[in-house]
Amino acid sequence: MSMANHQMTRRTGRAPADAGFSLVEMLVALTLTGLVLSALAAVTAQWLPNWRRGLSRISDGETLALAMDRMAADLSSALFVPAHTKSRKPFFAGTTSSVIFVRTALGPNVQPGLEIVHFSAGGAGGVVRSAASFAPRLETADLPAFGAPAALLDPRFRVSFSYAGSDGLWLDAWLNAIALPRAVRIVLRDARTGRALDVSSAVVIRAELPARCATNDRAPPCTPPAAAASSPRTAVREGDKE
């Protein structure tokens, strides 16, 4: 053995032939690495779909809550505003698939005044909100041109509306009534299963009569007979009798 090899053996504590990994050690290490990666892949394959479903449910819940908050805020602020100068009935028309009413304009880049809000359900599902400035007309209640509709819900969900008056009975329509409904019920459903969702709720409308009733409570529709006639059962069936 040369002097250099002898010195190397003394420094490393083993012969030069024993340096590095053997082929068997490398195969064992590769096998263990493959087993670990296979276990991680199996765990990920089971966990990732559940994680995605949970994230989707959270996202859908937030979307539904925001849509309900938007509709509830608008409907609760509906005002008793006549459609035109010769009418004493409020500008309000509600069916199972849509509702249109007047409220105070509120929001960024919105001119002060009143606006017409229209919630409607699409034929394939979903909910859209449209708005337009309200301007009193002399004799007709023709609708103005609405701006671009904003989608509140996608077609995976369906909405339906119902209306209740002072008698507490829920009806599918509120048309040509002399008073606003007491409440509007909003039911959201899964479009695929038809199941009603837990976020469904009822909204109380704060204004039922025109502002003039504060100073003249005997003028129509402020008088008790008119208030009785504005129950939802009568309001839907009588039509416009002005």
pLDDT digits 0-9 by tens, 95-110 = 999 999 999 887 666 6
User: Which pTM value belongs to this model?
Assistant: 0.66
For residue 74, pLDDT beyond 50: yes
Q: Are 74 and 119 in contact (CB under 8 A)?
A: yes
Q: What is the rounded average pLDDT of the residues 43-68?
A: 75
Q: How far, in Å, CA of 72 to CA of 108, rounded?
A: 19
Whole-angstrom Cα Rg for the chain: 34
Output the furthest CA–CA distance in the chain (Å, rounded). 124
More confident residue, 7 or 110: 110
Give the neighbor-by-neighbor strand order of the sheet with 170-171. 170-171, 157-164, 183-190, 201-204
Q: Is 196 helix (H, G, I), strand (E, B) or coil?
A: strand
The pLDDT of residue 17 is 54
Q: How far is CA 88 from CA 38, 80, 143, in A?
A: 75, 9, 18
Choose among 138, 232, 134, 135: nearest CA to 178.
232
Measured CA to CA, the distance from residue 49 to residue 63 in angstroms comes to: 21
Tell me the one-letter amino acid at 20. Answer: G
Higher-pLDDT residue of 215, 158: 158
Report the distance separating Cα 52 and Cα 192, nearest Å: 20
Question: In the prediction, which pLDDT does 144 show?
Answer: 73
Q: What confidence score (pLDDT) does residue 46 get?
A: 73
CB of 79 within 8 A of CB of 207? yes
Per-residue pLDDT of 160-198, as tens digits, reads 999 999 888 999 999 988 889 999 999 999 888 889 888
Torsion of CA 22, 24, 30, 32, to 10 degrees: -120
Q: Where are the alpha helices (DSSP H) in 17-160?
A: 23-76
Provide the 3-class DSSP secondary structure of residue 193. coil
Q: Is the pLDDT of residue 210 over 70?
A: no
Residues 6+ apart with CB under 8 A from 94: 100, 101, 161, 163, 173, 174, 175, 181, 184
pLDDT of residue 207: 76
pLDDT (mean) for 202-208: 85
Q: Which residues lie closer than 8 Å to 237 by C-beta, 6 or more apart?
A: none
The per-residue pLDDT for 214 is 53
